[in-house]
Amino acid sequence: MTDPPEHAPAATAEATAATADEVMTVVAARELRGRRTCFVGIGLPSIAASLARQVHEPSLVLIYESGPIGARPTRAPLSIGDGELADTALDVVGVPEVFSYWLQGGRIDVGFLGAAQICRYGNINTTVIGPYRQPMVRLPGAGGAPEIAASAREVIVVARHTTRTFVNRLDFVTSIGHHEGGDSRKALGLPGDGPTAVITNLGVLRPEAESRELVLTAIHPGVTAAVVRERTGWPLRIATSLTETEPPTELELDTLRRLSAGRGTGSAG
């Protein structure tokens, strides 16, 4: 409803090539191969996590901040507290328990987050655009993200690639990625390793070993590095080993489209 038309596959495109958004979701799902537990944010991360369970990693345990542990959604939930998540979960616990035992207790391999703004060190803003007391845009706020970013062993960020989102300087630091680069995250005493991949509709950014600055490591089919740089608010560096993303397989695309089609009943109203 609020999405621009390019994000919904048109009826005529059903048997045709994947949209940029679909590639993003498929690549995000592939990133969950070999992981056991994933703490899932809502929106793009949620669809990718469901896709990963169905195609790549059937035993992947999905944990949602609303309390479901081991949810097995068959459609992409509209909200993070959907009945579908509770109905299919191994257990449903209270919110204090989710954050204290399961996240802070160190049981989460991967935290999956979205971002309104992200900087070159993978720090995230989901709070305000503009000054805090007089914001131009008031965003939803922190939610579970600060502690997911702190405590998950690693973090994967999924975001659409524009200069509005990939900014030189955050208006507000909501959740910490690699802080100011180098060892600065470790110096803050955060338990997890921070963002290991930022997956966009154009490519994949990963932190460089020493500086922890995000560099472009992969581009999706049909995208050039020049376009990615144009849509990044800082002088994005390109990895010497830049690769091209494997296009989505038929199975990945079919499964994704099935998941998205069943998305809640939002369109029924």
Interaction site with another protein (CB under 8 A) = 1-2, 42-43, 65-68, 77-83, 85-87, 92, 94-96, 98-100, 103-104, 127, 132, 134-138, 140-147, 150-151, 172-176, 179, 185, 188-191, 264-269
CA dist 165 and 117 (Å) reads 4
Catalytic residue among 22, 31, 65, 147: 65
Three-state DSSP class for residue 172: coil
Question: Closest separation between CB of residue 179 and another protein, Å?
Answer: 6
Indicate the DSSP class of residue 18: P
- Residues whose CB falls within 8 Å of the CB of residue 29, separated by 6 or more in sequence, listed in order: 48, 49, 51, 52, 55, 56, 252, 256
For the chain, the straight-line distance linking the first and the last C-alpha, in angstroms and rounded, comes to 11
H-helix or E-strand spanning residue 211: none
Question: Closest separation between CB of residue 208 and another protein, Å?
Answer: 20
CA dist 117 and 137 (Å) reads 12
Total residue count of the chain as it appears in this document: 269
Three-state DSSP class for residue 7: helix
Indicate the DSSP class of residue 67: S
Cα dist. 11→83, 257, 261 in Å?
29, 11, 11
Question: Closest separation between CB of residue 188 and another protein, Å?
Answer: 5
Q: In the beta sheet, which residues pair with residue 155?
A: 111, 195
Question: In the complex with another protein, which residue's Cβ is closer, 44 or 228?
Answer: 44
Question: Closest separation between CB of residue 90 and another protein, Å?
Answer: 13
**Selection from 59, 56, 54, 46 nearest residue 90 by Cα:** 59
Active site annotation includes 65:
yes
Q: Which amino acid is at 194?
A: G
Whole-angstrom Cα Rg for the chain: 18
Question: Closest separation between CB of residue 21 and another protein, Å?
Answer: 16
Question: Closest separation between CB of residue 240 and another protein, Å?
Answer: 31
Question: In the complex with another protein, which residue's Cβ is closer, 70 or 135?
Answer: 135
The single residue listed with the structure tokens 């089919």 is: 221
Dihedral angle of Cα 223, 206, 174, 119, to the nearest 10 degrees: -60
Active-site residue numbers?
65
